[in-house]
Amino acid sequence: MDFNDTPEEAAFRSEVRAWLEANAERKEPNDVAGVDLGERVDAETLAAAKAWQKKKADAGWACITWPKEFGGRGATAIQSVIFGQEESKFRTPPNIFGIGHGMCAPTVMAHGTPEQQQRWIPKLLTGEEIWCQLFSEPSAGSDLAGLRTSAVKDGDEWVVNGQKIWTTGAQFSDWGILVVRTDPNAAKHAGLSYFVVDMHSPGIEVKPIIQINGGTGFNEVFFDNVRIPDANRLSEVGNGWAVAITTLMNERASIGSGGGGRAGISDLLHLARETEIDGRPAIEDPAVRQKLADFYVRSRALQHTGTRTVSALSQGKTPGPEASLGKLVGGVLIQDIAAYAIELQGTAGALDDNEYTPDEGAWQERYLGIPGLRIAGGTDEVLRNIIAERVLGLPPEARADKGIAFKDIPTGPPS
């Protein structure tokens, strides 16, 4: 039971800190519990993010867990955690490379040819090129393999028609990883293939989606006879699902390293001191105190669970599907805390402005932002299935679409 760094970890941390001190500005400490799903990035932020990434790349601090052959340091997972911990204490532009670095690059490293890797990975590392993920479709979210965007071979190109959705950053991306159906006569998973698409190709149209909180970080991406060279295909035709699994495993890993913020509990305690019940601070009310305690216990339990994950990394272990716990429990907790905070505000909970709403409407903002987290990157329901099947070893779901040609799978009620 020792929270201290090992000597090696401490040495690494000093090295990281020294470089950051010399190259960035320290933040003021505060409790950041915000959920920033899909906020639209403006041109200035984009430029700043690229500049910071280039700076890190030039100094050998970009994508440190990547193998050295790809420009990384071959750093361990715990070193990556340490770097993240230290970097978060400095004022740096938002990380817009999460998808490119966390999902796309590992997929290209695992399944790309040497030529493909040479072509794409260096510019991913430096941030010169930005990538997006074109997986989900209006008819295929949790059931991703049910996707319908098609690719038909024409000479040494593929012609793609269809639509993707929830594509973060599509509006400024240079490349996208794309899963398409190349054989509708095969069973669902067997007829998929995987490509890298140039987002500047003719026929691609990007339209922002407006979220319930007014944010526009996500997009729909329409493909109208978009031509992709066969040279941009990763792995064999029909092997797309296996490649997609690589991508998804990396997505889980990056989301699951959470346990970060405290779901807003500190802010809630503060609010309970500031708002009143019958003329006394709400925090003096016994019912409020019970509720606050429950939220606090849960929020700290999540934090400690995150610490156990980091500890496992430090011991050289690979955390597995247990990471689903952080997102599953955390998402609900953030929402419940925001909901409770709004209720503490009484009738003013129905406001959402900067002047009259307690905490400048931060709770209302959080309440409107959080449902996305319970759906994106694995819905609560899918995470429960993952825990049930992969952690607890319970039987898989009965499937109604196994062994049937994709084109014969029902997609709606009978007419």
Catalytically active residues are: 251
Contact between 294 and 335 under an 8 Å Cβ cutoff? The reply is no
Q: Which helix (H) or strand (E) holds 138?
A: none
Q: Which two tokens stand for residue 277?
A: 């019940």
Instruction: Look up residue 27 and give its DSSP letter.
Output: P
Contact between 201 and 226 under an 8 Å Cβ cutoff? The reply is yes
Taking the complex as a whole, the smallest distance from the CB of residue 387 to another protein amounts, in Å, to 4
Contact between 194 and 240 under an 8 Å Cβ cutoff? The reply is yes
Taking the complex as a whole, the smallest distance from the CB of residue 81 to another protein amounts, in Å, to 10
- N residues, the chain: 415
Taking the complex as a whole, the smallest distance from the CB of residue 380 to another protein amounts, in Å, to 9
Residues that bind another protein (CB under 8 A): 1-6, 9, 269, 283, 286, 289-290, 292-294, 296-298, 300-302, 304-305, 307-308, 310-312, 314-315, 322, 325, 328-329, 381, 383-385, 387-389, 391-392, 394-398
CA 195 to chain centre: 21
Q: Which of 411, 328, 338 is nearest to 375 (CA)?
A: 328
Of 315 and 415, which has the nearer Cβ to another protein?
A: 315
User: Using CA atoms, how far apart are residues 107 and 412, in angstroms rounded to an integer?
Assistant: 33
Of 18 and 394, which has the nearer Cβ to another protein?
A: 394
Q: Which of 206, 100, 191, 202 is nearest to 147 (CA)?
A: 191
User: Using CA atoms, how far apart are residues 75 and 92, in angstroms rounded to an integer?
Assistant: 21
Of 222 and 296, which has the nearer Cβ to another protein?
A: 296
For the residues of 79-100, what is the DSSP string, one character each? HHHHHHHHHTTEE------HHI
Of 200 and 399, which has the nearer Cβ to another protein?
A: 399
Q: Which residues contact 11 (CB under 8 A, 6 or more apart)?
A: none
User: Using CA atoms, how far apart are residues 8 and 20, in angstroms rounded to an integer?
Assistant: 19
User: Using CA atoms, how far apart are residues 247 and 191, in angstroms rounded to an integer?
Assistant: 18
Taking the complex as a whole, the smallest distance from the CB of residue 372 to another protein amounts, in Å, to 21
Taking the complex as a whole, the smallest distance from the CB of residue 303 to another protein amounts, in Å, to 8
Helix intervals (H) in 169-285: 240-256, 265-274
User: Using CA atoms, how far apart are residues 75 and 15, in angstroms rounded to an integer?
Assistant: 13
Taking the complex as a whole, the smallest distance from the CB of residue 241 to another protein amounts, in Å, to 23
Contact between 377 and 166 under an 8 Å Cβ cutoff? The reply is no
Of 24 and 269, which has the nearer Cβ to another protein?
A: 269
Taking the complex as a whole, the smallest distance from the CB of residue 143 to another protein amounts, in Å, to 15
C-alpha angle 113-119-120 in degrees, rounded to nearest 5: 95
Instruction: Look up residue 120 and give its DSSP letter.
Output: H
Taking the complex as a whole, the smallest distance from the CB of residue 284 to another protein amounts, in Å, to 10
